Structures are given as structure tokens and as C-alpha cells.
Amino acid sequence: MSAVPSNAGLFAPLTPSMFHVLLALAGNDLHGYAILKEVELRTGGKVRLSTGTLYGIIKRLLNDGLIVELRSRPAESEDDERRRYYRLTPQGRQVAIAEAERMDEILSIARSRNLLKKPRTA
């Protein structure tokens, strides 16, 4: 909790779709289509973002400084010039962490009320 600066709380709670986009970018820098695919893959196809929703989210995250557009692009052979690549900013990472911790707290309450099984330790 201490790793998260106080202003990260200003963004919470994120909408589930925004959180999914942040999570997708937490791994790698991705272009729009890749974000959609990543979200779909991670959620087993339960969350499918439409282009309208995705770019509405991207615009907000860019405005809020949670992601940036990359200037460097991949090698020309594997690039489509219409594609743009996005990266999570340190602030974006903190906001994602804050959101994950917020959810974690809610989950532990749910567990303590026996609404959820305890997580299996590996």
C-alpha cells in the first residue's frame, strides 16, 4: 500500500474495461488490436472490447497521463503505419496497483464472510 502515491486514489475506481486495458499494458507495449486480443485472451473471451469503447478509454488514459504513445516503432517489415503503440506510465502502473489492491481488500472481506474460497497456495 505504501508504494502507491496518494494521488493514485484519485483515479479509483476505474471502470472494469479501463482496468483491463491497464492490465494488458502492464505486460508489454501494445498497439490497439493487440490490446483487444490480450484482454480477450486473459479473460477467456468473457470481456470483448469494441473499437469505440477501446479508443474512448485510450483517449482518457492518455489525457490522464496513465499511458503514453510510443515514438519508437518496430521494424518496418512487421509494422502497419496506421498502428500506434501504447505504454503504461509509472503513474499508470501505480493506479493499476491501487485498483488491484482495492479489489484485493474487497476480496478478503468476501473471504472472511465465507463468500469465497481461500486462495490455494502453490
Partner 1 sequence: MAAADSRATRIYRALLRLLPFDFRSEYGREMESVFQEQHREAGRRNGTTGVLRLWWETIVGIFRTAPGEHLAMFGQDAGFALRMMRKSPGFTLAAILTLGLGIGANSAIFSVVNAVLLKPLPYEHGDRLVVLDQRMGMMNQSFSVAEINDYRAQSRSLGGLVEYHNMNFILLGRSEPERVETGVVSWNYFEVFGVKPLFGRAFRPEDERPGAPAVLLLSHEYWIKSFGGDPTVVNKTFTMNDKIHTVIGVLPPVPQYPDENDVYMPTTACPFRSRPAAIANRQARMMQVFGRMKPGMSVPQAQADLSGVAANLQKAYPKDYPEANHYSVQTVSLEEQLTHNARPTMLVLLAAAGFVLLIACANVANLNLSRLLRRERELAVRAALGAGRARMFRQLLTESFLLAVIGGGLGLLFSWGALSLLVNFAARFTPRAREIHMDAVVLGFTFLVAVLTSLLSGTAPALAARETVVGTLKEGGTQSTIGRGKHRMSSLLIVAQVAASFLLLIGAGLMLRSFLRLQRVDPGFQPENVLTMQIGLDFVKYNTGDKQRAFFETLLEKIQMQSGVKSAAASMMIPFTNDMKMTGDFQIQGQATTPGQALPTADFRIVSPCYFEALHIPIFKGRGFLQSDRPGNPDVAIVNRSAASHLWGSQDPVGTRFSTDRGKNWTQVVGVVGDIKQYGLDKNAADEIYVAMAQNPMMESSLVIKTSVEPMSIARGVIELLHAIDANQPAARMRSLEQVRAESVAAPRLTSNLLGLFALQALAIAATGIGGVMALVVGQRRHEIGVRMAIGARPGEILRMILGQGMSLTLVGVALGLLGALWLTHLFEQLLFEVAASDPPTYVGVAAVLGMAALMACYVPARRAARLDPLIVLRLE
Q: Where on the chain is the footprint of partner 1 (CB under 8 A)?
A: 32-33, 36, 48-56, 58-59, 80, 82-84
> Between residues 37 and 111, which has the closer beta carbon with respect to partner 1?
37
What the block records as the C-alpha cell of 57 is: 478509454
d(CA 64, CA 45): 28
Cα distances from 95 to residues 6, 15, 33, 66, 112, in angstroms, run 10, 12, 23, 8, 26
Our CB check for partner 1 shows the closer of 4 and 20 to be 20
Taking the least distance from each CB to partner 1, the nearer of 13 and 33 is 33
Least distance between partner 1 and beta carbon 83 (Å): 7
